[in-house]
A and B are shown apart, each in its own frame.
Chain A
Amino acid sequence: MSAVGDQVRKFLDESVYQSVIWKSVFRHGFPDTDRNRTLVVLSNLFLHLHPAKLKGHAVRMRYTWCMGGLSFFMFLILTISGVFLMFYYRPTPEYAYQDIVALREDVPLGMFMRNVHRWGAHSMVLIVWLHMLRVFMTGSYKAPREFNWAIGVILLKLTLLLSFTGYLLPWDQLAIWAITVGTNMARATPFLGHEGPGASLIGYDDFKVVHSKSDIRFALLGGSIVGPSALLRFYVLHCVFLPLVAGFLMAVHFWRIRKDGFSAPL
């Protein structure tokens, strides 16, 4: 190391790493010894999602393509940008569209944040698909990781639902028609949708249990068209329910990666 570097290092060692403040935050010195490198991972809430050491192949980018980590990273970016958008957005037909226009025109960084949120959401869908492809191609779904793969499949479904529910919120033509097309399929759910096979068998004579105002699509939209109640429902699902469930399942997913051990050749 150069003379300047030595000086800097000496200063850090003597004045910073020994200081009361540093020691109250980090319970270890600079991570350049084996002991400190282990401690930095173990004593930090975020880093300790990792083990302290990994087998060489698992560290390489060409093995994981970083896709799992990036799925989580996208989720975090979307949470942060989403909270920002929530400050300005009201989920009723009177305001929703207008709030998006205001976000674009009046709010500092509003358009940028909206773009980050939208492109981040599209990216997350892609990244989660490719993460699944990686897990498949390395055979990582096989025993003992079958259950974690199943958790992953639910996470994939949640990612798609998050993206889908968010699509409605701008309340423009693109939004309501995409959601109309998507939710129309629910009409045809066997037994539960009023145009689904078997639904007309439930009930007798003219009394039908499943009709256009009682079927699963009605429950999803809170009405028989994509209207104000659908907007509110999708908003609540999008901003509260689905992220909570996804966050919870991610915790399980990460826990299981550690418990099952990271995939490795035998």
Chain B
Amino acid sequence: MILASGAIGTGPEYMQPFFNFVNFICRPEILFTGSVAAFFGALKFRKILVKPPVAIAMTVGLIAFILISLLSPQFYNEARKPDNAPIFIMVFLTGLVLWAAFYQAVNNDERFRQGLRSDEHEAAEEKLHVWPYLIYIEAIVAAFVLALLFAWSIGLEAPLEQFANPAKSPNPAKAPWYFLGLQEMLVYYDPWIAGVVLPGMILSGLIVLPYCDPNPKGVGYYTFEQRRLAITVFLFGFLILWVLLIFVGTFLRGPNWNFFGLYEPWDAHKLLSLNNINLSEYFWSDLLHKAPPQEWWRREWPGFALIFAYFTILPAAGTVLFKRFYQKLGFVRYSMVVMHLLVMFSLPIKMYLRWSINLKYIVFIPDYFFNI
């Protein structure tokens, strides 16, 4: 790097109050909590949000926000990296398709309330010839997308950096953007969980999903009210635990994978007082005022007990609290759903534990690389 750290400025003077405010709300705990709140708020107020004027206003607002952000040298630096271009497309395209889905869902849910059939149902009455009705759409869309791709390829050159040098590691070293959600999880879990167990559970969870969704409604048309639980959980995973974490990994993680505000210049010497504490230390030193035992199986029993309880007592309680759900699914399918949900929510749980009490590991057995 030619630029010494801290050499890039913070942008125009008059923007500083706004930039400082955004930097502040970008702190992981605030951003995450805020996004979760916004997510549930958006589901609740979906009828208002899908109205075209509101949707357009939000899009314009987002574009304005991005343009204003470009005044920050730091954001500008990241935004102009060619490999980050897909992130912007992701944000707008995801927004567009979610709008399309919810616009139709709200419309259909309203129709059901009036005793009508879904809009798709009406349209399905008629059978259309694939030629020309579908082939034409496909041809036009394909030509349009090809034109866009060509324009993108003429306008933006694929990056090519210096010749590979295994001795000179860049800081930060980042995975490709679509894996940055996983890299972000590494902050909270060791690689065997963040890099192996969690991705594995994402895939297995997706595969068992159709076998575990007992709700026969909602096939072939958009709806929200007939599939509240399934849609909420799926979108939570996709938007909050995947898309949001990609954003964080791209724009908010700088040298040494330290956290930086959206407009905060990446300073490789930023010092953070990291005093993360293991559960066993909390338990033995702070609670019992004793020296932690040497043997791991004595030292770590509180953590094991906690995890054991999380994966047994909660599911057991669920069979009573959500009795109908349990009976509908049966033992095997219920267990699969609950295990996947518990693993999924273990990520935000660990995040909040880190932010609130600096918890590092719940179970810490470095000899066997078994840290949770």
Residues in chain B near residue A54, CB distance under 8 A: 127-128, 130, 133-134
Q: In the complex, which residues of chain B have a beta carbon less than 8 angstroms from the beta carbon of A52?
A: 129-130
Contact residues in A for B175 (Cβ distance below 8 Å): 178, 181-182
- B40 interface residue (CB < 8 Å to A): no
Which residues on the A side are within 8 Å of B128 (C-beta)? Answer: 53-56, 59
B327–chain A nearest beta-carbon distance, Å: 20
Q: How many chain-A residues does the 8 Å CB contact rule pick out? A: 103
Residues of B within 8 A of A195 (CB): 191-192, 369
A256 at the interface (CB under 8 A from B): no
Say yes or no: B170 contacts A173, CB within 8 Å: yes
Cβ–Cβ contact A197 & B153, under 8 A: no
Query: What's the minimum C-beta distance from A80 to chain B, rounded to whole angstroms?
Result: 11
Please pick, from B104, B149, B192, B368, the residue contacting A119 in the complex, using a CB distance under 8 A: B149
Residue A90 lies at the interface, judged by CB distance under 8 Å to chain B: no
Binary flags per residue of A138-166, CB closer than 8 Å to B gives 1, else 0: 11111101100110010011001001100
A170 contacts chain B at the CB level, 8 A cutoff: yes
Q: Is A57 a contact partner of B120 (Cβ separation < 8 A)?
A: yes
Candidates A31, A60, A66; contact of B131 at CB < 8 Å: A31
Known: A37-B131, A150-B207, A197-B370. A138 touches B221 (CB 8 A): yes
Point out the residues of chain B lying under 8 angstroms from A170, CB to CB: 160
Tell me how far the C-beta of A107 lies from the nearest C-beta in chain B, rounded to whole angstroms.
14
User: Given that A54-B130, A226-B166 are known contacts, is A174 also in contact with B83, CB under 8 Å in the complex?
Assistant: yes
A196 with B164: CB separation less than 8 A: no
Complex contact A157–B203 (CB within 8 A): yes
Nearest to B145 among chain A residues (CB) is A70
Let me know if B121 and A265 touch, CB within 8 A.
Answer: yes
The B112-151 residues at the A interface (CB cut-off 8 A) are: 117-121, 123-135, 137-138, 141-142, 145-146, 149-150
Assess whether B209 is in contact with A149, with CB atoms less than 8 Å apart: yes
A97-B163, A133-B97 are contacts. A180–B173 as well, Cβ < 8 Å?
A: yes
Taking a contact as CB atoms under 8 Å apart, the answer to whether B173 and A56 are in contact is no
Q: Write out the residue numbers on chain A whose beta carbons fall within 8 Å of the beta carbon of B150.
A: 116
A213 at the interface (CB under 8 A from B): no
Interface pair B160/A104, CB less than 8 Å apart:
yes
CB interface residues, A 17-70, toward B, < 8 Å? 31, 34, 37-38, 40-41, 47, 50-63, 65-67, 69-70
Which residue in chain B gives the minimum CB-CB distance to A263?
A: B220
Tell me whether A142 and B213 are in contact in the complex, defined as CB-CB below 8 angstroms, given that A40-B131, A55-B126, A174-B83 are known contacts. yes
Among B161, B176, B222, max chain A CB count under 10 A is at B176
In the complex, the chain B residue whose C-beta lies closest to that of A199 is B369
Measured in the bound complex, the distance between the Cα atoms of B209 and A137 in whole Å is: 13
Report Cα–Cα, A172/B238, bound state, in Å.
31
Contacts A104-B160, A265-B124 hold; do A188 and B192 have CB atoms under 8 A apart?
Answer: yes
Contact yes or no, A115 B130, CB < 8 A: no
- Residues of A within 8 Å of B289, CB to CB, are none
Check B127–A56 contact: CB distance below 8 A.
Answer: yes
The yes or no answer to B101 lying at the interface (CB within 8 A) is yes
Question: Chain B residues with Cβ under 8 A from A178's Cβ?
Answer: 173-176
* A80→B178 CA distance, assembly (Å): 23
A59 touches B134 (CB 8 A): yes
A185 at the interface (CB under 8 A from B): yes
B372 to chain A, nearest CB (A): 9
Is the C-beta of B13 less than 8 angstroms from some C-beta in chain A?
no
A197 x B130 contact (CB < 8 A)? no
Q: What residue of chain A has the Cβ atom nearest to residue B151's Cβ?
A: A119
A-B contacts, 5 listed (Cβ < 8 Å): A62-B104, A66-B138, A73-B142, A139-B227, A265-B221
Q: Which 4 A-B pairs have the closest CB atoms?
A: A185-B195, A115-B153, A188-B191, A146-B210
